[in-house]
């Protein structure tokens, strides 16, 4: 088993899901509560990575992050090197790739909130920000955990985007799924199986946690 | 003093648009907003509180504008210093009773916040519940917590949307008593939405009747609810009998007019009104206002005596509901004692006696 690849994947997934949570909270809040008629357009953009082949996404990410792409040029201007085939580039591409997995559970849980609780908070003088942190977030924590866990798991398992944007540089961009692919190419089925089995186990645990969460089995404030 | 003069239109697919159009002044003390469901009571409270924005008009509290459409001004709900208890109460399920009550006090320094909470908890008899979550409270306890959470902020206006629905009469009385005691010191306008007649009587001050988005009548509870002028309001006020007919004659000298019921060749004398002869009317009569006799009554002051047949008797709680055909179908409320002593059985020949002033002309 390639420990380097595994650690890299976990690092990537942790960084991506942490940043995604910060991005997805305001985005999901806005999508859940806006009355703007054109919001379906933004919803479609957010959901796009769900249906787009990862290679397509990876291709455009590569173009954007490369030395001639807008993001690549900006990055080169700031840090002196381009984003393609770097860990940072991988993070940015993964943010886009896993965005719907962070945003959708949050929207679902914000929309299921009793609006009268938010009204009550306003009437009691709370600003929108206070209502958000004191009422919306605590009451949406199953959705929050679902969002984090799903974006973590989804990033952990990505292949096409990584291959396009990151290539296969050991310790920098060789993630665990690429490692499995390499092992299979090298006909080292036993090593591939070790890693694959581990990913299978992790995926199952993750989904079990998410489904358990959504039934609110651990909800601490339900009436006894 | 709260002055409201607003209009708002709602469009929902598949049903005719709803217009809220209210112009009314609310003085300190209780005002009951009464009306059938869908009359716009909660919508009116939502507009006053700032949760909804009217299309046009003004909302003014003393000298301060809450809303002024002409100047495109709307004071945010957070700044109106209003307390609003929803029908659903909307207690925060993840916060304890104490945290719920203190929620609206975040602008105050900690010692004052604590002091206010300590003062309001015993006043509403919820001191012992302070560590509990709303999920662990009974219906009445939740209602007390919701009231305390609203009143602890010392609002300048209190909006209550059926806050005591589902409580038994004794508990309702007790909570109303606490509320009245609280307001004796504060003297702020309290708008109290209900469609429960008992609550109206218990509060007993001014009633504003809202029907179809408009104020139909206002005044003392007896004037508004005992002589309603529309079918919708009469139904909401608990009238059981609605009879179709048309006016045949006005007799100003006797203070009455004669109405022939459509269902049969049967006449009623009802209080003189402005309805011209020939016009169709509907007459509303409370089931409790009708007397029932097993012999033809004589020498009565009541002008309307209708012979008929007792069709059915159905016990309902402390009363018996009788169905009688006497020209039209009537619902009559009796006591179980009366049923026993008159030996009432279905099929019996009976006479209904209706006082002229128990008959109210209502408009569709």
Which tokens go with B354? 């209706």
Q: Decide which of 3.30.300.160, 3.40.50.300, 2.60.40.420, 1.20.58.220 is the CATH code for B2-228.
A: 3.40.50.300
Buried b (16+ CB within 10 A) or exposed e, B285-316: bbbebbbbeeeeeeeeeebbbbebebeebeee
* pLDDT at residue B242 is higher than 70: yes
Number of CB atoms found within 10 A of residue B93's CB: 18
> Which residues neighbour B302 within 8 Å (Cβ) at sequence distance 6 or greater?
B291, B353, B354, B355, B356
The residue ranking higher by pLDDT, B174 or A16, is A16
pLDDT level of residue B89 (50, 70, 90 thresholds) = very high
Q: Of all residues in chain B, what percent carry a pLDDT higher than 70?
A: 99
Average pLDDT over residues A10-37: 92
Task: Supply the pLDDT for residue A95.
Answer: 92
What CATH code would you report for A3-214? 1.10.3720.10
Residue range(s) occupied by CATH 3.40.50.300 in chain B: 2-228
Task: State whether B90 and A120 contact (CB < 8 Å).
Answer: yes
Within the 313-352 window of chain B, which residues sit less than 8 Å (CB to CB) from chain A?
none
B-chain residues near A117 (CB < 8 A): 90, 92
B-chain residues near A135 (CB < 8 A): 92
Closest chain A C-alpha to B4 CA, distance in angstroms? 19
Residue range(s) occupied by CATH 2.40.50.100 in chain B: 241-362
Check if A115 contacts B (Cβ < 8 Å): no
Task: Supply the pLDDT for residue A223.
Answer: 35
In DSSP terms, B29 is beta-bridged to: B189
Task: State whether B86 and A120 contact (CB < 8 Å).
Answer: yes
Radius of gyration over every alpha carbon of chain A, rounded to an integer in angstroms: 20
Mean of the per-residue pLDDT values of chain B: 88
* pLDDT at residue B177 is higher than 60: yes
The residue ranking higher by pLDDT, B318 or A98, is A98
Check if B86 contacts A (Cβ < 8 Å): yes
Strand, helix or coil at B267? strand
In a mutational test of the A interface, the residue from B93, B142, B191 whose CB has the highest number of chain A CBs within 10 Å is B93
Task: Find, among B138, B147, B66, B58, the residue nearest to B101 by Cα.
Answer: B147
Q: By mean pLDDT, which of A117-131, B17-31, B273-287 is the weakest? A: B273-287
- What's the CA gap between B328 and B263, in Å, rounded? 6
Nearest CB neighbour to A138, from listed B83, B94, B150: B94
* pLDDT at residue B5 is higher than 90: yes
Q: Is B69 within 8 Å of B57 (Cβ atoms)?
A: yes
pLDDT tens for each residue of A199-224: 888 888 877 877 776 655 344 444 33
Is the ipTM above a cut-off of 0.90? no
Q: Decide which of 1.20.1050.10, 1.20.1250.20, 2.40.50.100, 3.90.550.60 is the CATH code for B241-362.
A: 2.40.50.100
Closest chain A C-alpha to B79 CA, distance in angstroms? 7
- What's the CA gap between B320 and A115, in Å, rounded? 43
- What's the CA gap between B157 and B25, in Å, rounded? 13
Nearest CB neighbour to A123, from listed B77, B93, B136: B77
Domain ranges of chain A: 3-214
Check if A127 contacts B (Cβ < 8 Å): yes
pLDDT tens for each residue of A36-82: 888 889 989 888 888 888 889 888 888 888 878 888 888 888 887 77
Q: What is the DSSP letter of B230?
A: B
* pLDDT at residue B235 is higher than 60: yes
Task: Supply the pLDDT for residue B157.
Answer: 94
The residue ranking higher by pLDDT, B316 or B84, is B84
Which tokens go with B51? 């949760």
């Amino acid at each position: 088993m390639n420990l380097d690849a595994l650690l890299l994947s976990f690092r990537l997934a942790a960084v991506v899901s942490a940043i995604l949570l910060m991005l997805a909270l305001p985005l999901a809040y806005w999508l859940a509560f806006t009355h703007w008629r054109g919001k379906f357009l933004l919803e479609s953009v957010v959901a796009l990575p769900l249906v787009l082949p990862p290679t397509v996404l990876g291709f455009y990410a590569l173009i954007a992050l490369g030395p001639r792409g807008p993001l690549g040029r900006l990055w080169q201007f700031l840090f002196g090197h381009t984003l393609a085939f770097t860990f940072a580039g991988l993070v940015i591409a993964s943010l886009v790739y896993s965005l719907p997995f962070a945003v959708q559970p949050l929207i679902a849980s914000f929309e299921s909130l009793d609006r009268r609780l938010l009204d009550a908070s306003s009437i009691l003088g709370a600003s929108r920000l206070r209502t958000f942190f004191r009422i919306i977030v605590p009451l949406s924590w199953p959705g929050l955990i679902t969002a984090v866990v799903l974006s973590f798991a989804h990033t952990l398992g990505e292949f096409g985007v990584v291959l396009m944007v990151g290539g296969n540089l050991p310790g920098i961009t060789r993630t665990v799924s690429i490692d499995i692919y390499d092992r299979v190419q090298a006909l080292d089925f036993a090593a591939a199986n070790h890693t694959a089995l581990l990913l299978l186990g992790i995926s199952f645990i993750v989904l079990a946690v998410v489904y358990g969460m959504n039934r609110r089995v651990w909800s601490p404030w339900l009436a006894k | 003093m709260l002055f409201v003069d607003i209009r708002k239109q709602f469009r929902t697919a598949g049903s005719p648009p709803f217009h809220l159009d209210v112009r009314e002044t609310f003085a300190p003390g209780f005002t009951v907003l009464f009306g059938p469901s869908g009359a716009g009571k909660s919508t009116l409270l939502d507009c006053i509180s700032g949760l909804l924005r009217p299309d046009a008009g003004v909302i003014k509290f003393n000298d301060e504008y809450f809303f002024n459409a002409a100047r495109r001004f709307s004071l945010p709900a957070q700044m109106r210093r209003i307390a609003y208890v929803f029908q659903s109460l909307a207690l925060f399920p993840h916060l304890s009773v104490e945290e719920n009550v203190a929620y609206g006090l975040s602008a105050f320094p900690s010692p004052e916040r604590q002091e206010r909470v300590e003062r309001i908890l015993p006043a509403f008899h919820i001191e012992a519940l302070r560590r509990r979550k709303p999920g662990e409270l009974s219906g009445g306890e939740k209602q007390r917590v919701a009231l305390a959470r609203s009143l602890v902020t010392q609002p300048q206006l209190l909006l209550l949307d059926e806050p005591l629905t589902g409580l038994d009469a004794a508990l309702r009385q007790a909570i109303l008593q606490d509320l009245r005691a609280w307001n004796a010191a504060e003297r702020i306008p309290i708008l109290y939405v209900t469609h429960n007649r008992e609550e109206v009587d218990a509060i007993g001050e001014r009633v504003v009747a809202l029907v179809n988005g408009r104020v139909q009548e206002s005044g003392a509870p007896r004037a508004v609810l005992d002589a309603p002028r529309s079918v919708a309001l009469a139904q909401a006020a608990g009238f059981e009998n609605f009879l179709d007919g048309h006016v045949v004659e006005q007799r100003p000298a006797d203070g009455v007019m004669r109405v022939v019921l459509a269902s049969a060749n049967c006449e009623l004398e009802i209080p003189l009104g402005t309805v011209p002869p020939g016009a169709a009317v509907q007459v509303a009569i409370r089931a409790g206002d009708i007397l029932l006799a097993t012999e033809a009554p004589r020498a009565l002051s009541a002008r309307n005596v209708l012979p008929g047949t007792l069709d059915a008797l159905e016990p309902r709680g402390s009363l018996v509901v009788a169905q009688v055909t006497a020209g039209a179908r009537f619902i009559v409320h009796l006591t179980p004692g009366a049923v026993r002593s008159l030996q009432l059985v279905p099929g019996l020949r009976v006479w209904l006696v209706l006082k002229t002033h128990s008959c109210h002309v209502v408009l569709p």
